Structure 1
Amino acid sequence: MLRARRVRREDLTGPEFLDQAPARRRTPEDEALVADSVSRALLVVLDTLEPAERIAFVLHDMFAVPFAQIAPIVERTPVATKKLASRARRRVQGTPTVSAAELSRQRRVVSAFLDAARSGDLAAVLEVLDPDVVRRVDAAALAPGMSAELSGARPVAKGTVALAKRSQLAELALVNGEVGVVLAPHGSLVLAITFTVAGDKITAYDVVAEPDRLGQLTLAVLG
């Protein structure tokens, strides 16, 4: 399934996906999609593991299969298989590079930003943006007529709510040890967003979509 997702990359640049119409009220189906975000974020992280690590982690941690039964599958001893699962677990959980208090603050601010973006609420987006906020976007994620760099709270906020449909597929994740956002339909990573947060405001964010840059990111599930 993981291999299949690599060859079924989602097209996120067509006019249907980049719908410029005002966001509609979220339905129960939308809420279910957001509730599934942890699963999609987990798929992204699993995709970065070695095959044996992935098998050991998924079978043991998600399906409670004993290590003695997993060992023949990965061609290891039960002890070595346990170490595989442990190593995978550490990578899935990640290691924050900031304090717990700072991580909590980042999460609160970025969550508010993402919620506002999903609902297309311009005022709510403006509420969490610094007046001099800067947004940078990789060429791979640029829509026609979209600037690679934009500054100022109102222009950035307008650009954010214009992509409310895209935001429905985004979810929080640990990106390079800090709170960020990943866009991963069907668990296939398309882009990631890193944020600079000062106080309760976002002062900058970068949309990373170039494959080489995505490959250099350290991703983990945000607990």
Structure 2
Amino acid sequence: MDRRAPLNRDRVLRAAVALADAEGIDAVSMRNLAQELKVVPMALYKHVANKDELLDGMVDVIVGEIEPPADDDAWKSAIRRRILSARQVLLRHPWASRVIESRPGPTLIVLDYLNSVVGMFRSGGFSVDLAHHVMHALGSRVWGFTQELFPAAPAVDPTAVADRYPYIMEIAMAGAHDGDSAVGPGCDDQFEFEFALDLLLDGFERLHRQGWTPPRRRSRP
């Protein structure tokens, strides 16, 4: 007797996330997913129309794992905790940052998350203009990852690098680096992520207290 759970959208999406976790995002295809679920590929199309909808749904599953904010938290601690929760989610799902960046537009669940982050700034007294600018400043940090300054090591002789680029070598050798970071190789370890996040939040707080307003925009000719 076949006791498998009935196929539905949630089961398909969670199986796709598990496949990406186990084998990487490049292994996720409708055919491979059908094999994992022991169904014919056409059975999947009743629940996800195509690969793009599958990827969107996988992002929704990931976003659903981010810890919701506590209602009684101050804006700064609430946002910090929410973003660090997002980072922990990405550490569990190392492929997720690549997929998030690849999506051409946000789903409703993604918009719910972004709206909640903006809402924490607004509830903290930030003006619409300041909330707008701080979201741009946070960038991908709102999802728990950052783009690397140097995505790959230079393909040159290290001695030549040290001679020609002494300041780059100084900072490269000065701090601890996390070559096995799940959200990208290089300097993006937990300390550096939190350092930059705290620096931004402190700056946002200072601007908020100063009653910052945007400079008058120049009219275009």
Q: Same fold (TM over 0.5)?
A: no
TM-score by length of 1: 0.25
**Structure richer in helix, relative to its length:** 2
Higher relative contact order (CA closer than 8 Å, sequence separation 6+) = 1
**Structure richer in strand, relative to its length:** 1
TM-score by length of 2: 0.26
